[in-house]
Structure 1
């Protein structure tokens, strides 16, 4: 395959501004066909604007965005894209089956309506009016609508935000089945465990830029693979930040937490200093990695926190 044939989503130096705010700030991103990719970031990081650019809801102020080698608007009109957005509102006085059937009829090769309802877990709601459903049920209707055209690319903005634990489990089981059929899935989420469990890649955004791109394990290693915690016992913590492998230091009361690329070297150095009282060593969590990757410039975080060094971006995602 050529690059265009193998690429579902392509951002090249994409910029989108709102006044003086660069909501998307020079993003380069490639997503291959059949990949499931999660977008992570704090509120205001640029995730929703990135999704808007991806769907052709507005053009970039600079750079290019393409889906399957063409403009997003053309890919959407051709029925190759399905989307589930946060701000969609229930349509009054229509049933679930009518709504999904209408949307399916607008696509050249739609998914059978019963199949879309089954995948979304709402087959029993086909005859119910959409505007009389609970918030979680409406969210699943949105999913069925996104599936209706049997699109090659499925874009989901916070898809499980209104779902309880059981409904989230059902949703992701459906998503796994859909992705296994070779479809490309891009979703944003605030649930880090969802990104870790269901995405092939996690793209972390901060202040409109991509700051990391990789698997959950790769992100943990990039942000500091282990956490070493010791009791200070009155010791000055400043020198600890200079120990081998240490990328950042946090001090909480009488305990120092060292984020390190090489926990063995860090522990040996602590032992040489006689500073292993209350020693604990644990792998960094995805939460730890996310917080380290999205620390604002100059923000020292908790008392004594030192932000990690900037990450090198992977070849598939970088900020210009």
Structure 2
């Protein structure tokens, strides 16, 4: 199947103000076929507002939004998208199969129910009332409902919240399959490893502004951090005080160090602990890039990342 990599959804210079607060301040965004765009940001960064504008649920004060070259509110545009928001209110007494059949009936060329079931991992659940499902099972039903119209653009807002590891990986496989067919996916997530595993591009919002927009590799390249991991008995609180070390913590028997330069840290590590083993040096990941890109706003108290699943670290500042 030939993938249409044209721009399928876009925001152009979008502003949205609520009272004295600017939720979006000139946001530009493009989403292309066969692409996963991860929209990241702390709470209140503007992610939900940006999605609302793209879906036609929020009217921008300035700028424009488009889906397939049409107004987001047009029926023709809406029939070509799928949406999975953070929460959904569905009739609890309805069986899963009934919900899928009803939703498919809204579209002129729906996706077969059995295909939605397969992609969402709902085998054996079709006769179950929605209200009797676990939270993770309900999220998978919501994902299946978003697929009923054969969407060319899929909006996934925190799609794997409440899923166990196996279900999360199953959803990742389904997303990759849909992207391989040419579907465009706009993903918001607090799981940075999820964005790193799925996204081709990353857009980071901070206080309604785009502070970074580019490929995954380009976003990582914005920071020069290195990660040093080894088996060592050294105290991470003491290691955090070394020159060039930004953070250190223990993960079982392993010592995990984030540094701005790796070589002098490795030399000091081997000097302090000649028995250190299984030494690994790698470039910092998306979590480090995200923190670096939002550092100024975070230090000013303008944003929060308390819901991001980052492990607690012993830092030089904390020490």
In the superposition, the TM-score normalised over structure 2's length comes to: 0.77
* Residue in 1 that maps onto 2:307: none
* Residue in 1 that maps onto 2:260: 259
Q: 1:131 to 1:283 in 2, by over 3 A?
A: same
Q: Is the 8 A contact 1:55 1:76 kept in 2?
A: no
* Residue in 1 that maps onto 2:152: 152
Aligned residues between the structures: 279
Q: Is the 8 A contact 2:5 2:32 kept in 1?
A: no
Alpha-carbon distance in 2 for matches of 1:233, 1:286: 21
Alpha-carbon distance in 1 for matches of 2:181, 2:291: 34
Q: Deviations over 1:204-228 (max 9, x none)?
A: 1111111112233221211225369
Alpha-carbon distance in 1 for matches of 2:240, 2:164: 45
- How far residue 285 of structure 1 moved from its aligned partner, in angstroms, is 2.2
* Residue in 2 that maps onto 1:25: 25
Are 1:52 and 2:89 an aligned pair?
A: no
Q: Is the 8 A contact 2:241 2:316 kept in 1?
A: no
After superposition, where does 1:143-292 map in structure 2 within 5 Å? 143-226=143-226, 250=246, 259=260, 277-278=268-269, 282-292=282-292
Q: Deviations over 1:267-320 (max 9, x none)?
A: 5xx79xxx9644896422221111101124381896559xxxxxxxxxxxxxxx
Q: 1:94 to 1:178 in 2, by over 3 A?
A: same
Q: Is the 8 A contact 1:82 1:146 kept in 2?
A: yes
Alpha-carbon distance in 2 for matches of 1:41, 1:29: 14
SS in 1 for 2:292: helix
Q: 1:136 to 1:44 in 2, by over 3 A?
A: same
Q: 1:214 to 1:100 in 2, by over 3 A?
A: same
Gaps of 5+ in 2: 230-237, 249-256, 271-278, 302-314
State which drifts further: 28-37 or 129-138: 28-37
Q: Deviations over 1:143-189 (max 9, x none)?
A: 01100011111101000001000100111111111111111111111
Alpha-carbon distance in 1 for matches of 2:214, 2:19: 32
Q: Is the 8 A contact 2:223 2:292 kept in 1?
A: yes
- How far residue 92 of structure 1 moved from its aligned partner, in angstroms, is 2.7
Alpha-carbon distance in 2 for matches of 1:251, 1:81: 42
Are 1:126 and 2:151 an aligned pair?
A: no
- How far residue 78 of structure 1 moved from its aligned partner, in angstroms, is 4.7
Q: Deviations over 1:13-50 (max 9, x none)?
A: 11122211112221011121221111111122111111
Alpha-carbon distance in 2 for matches of 1:119, 1:91: 22
- How far residue 62 of structure 1 moved from its aligned partner, in angstroms, is 1.1
- How far residue 201 of structure 1 moved from its aligned partner, in angstroms, is 1.0
Q: 1:228 to 1:78 in 2, by over 3 A?
A: closer
Gaps of 5+ in 1: 241-248, 306-320
Are 1:37 and 2:34 an aligned pair?
A: no
Alpha-carbon distance in 2 for matches of 1:184, 1:77: 14
Q: Report runs of 4+ in structure 1 exceeding 3 Å deviation.
A: 75-78, 225-229, 231-235, 249-252, 275-282, 300-305
In the superposition, the TM-score normalised over structure 1's length comes to: 0.77
* Residue in 2 that maps onto 1:308: none
Q: 1:78 to 1:277 in 2, by over 3 A?
A: closer
After superposition, where does 1:90-129 map in structure 2 within 5 Å? 90-129=90-129
* Residue in 2 that maps onto 1:12: 12
Taking only aligned residues, the RMSD between alpha carbons, in angstroms, comes to: 3.2
Q: Is the 8 A contact 1:250 1:303 kept in 2?
A: yes
Q: 1:168 to 1:298 in 2, by over 3 A?
A: closer
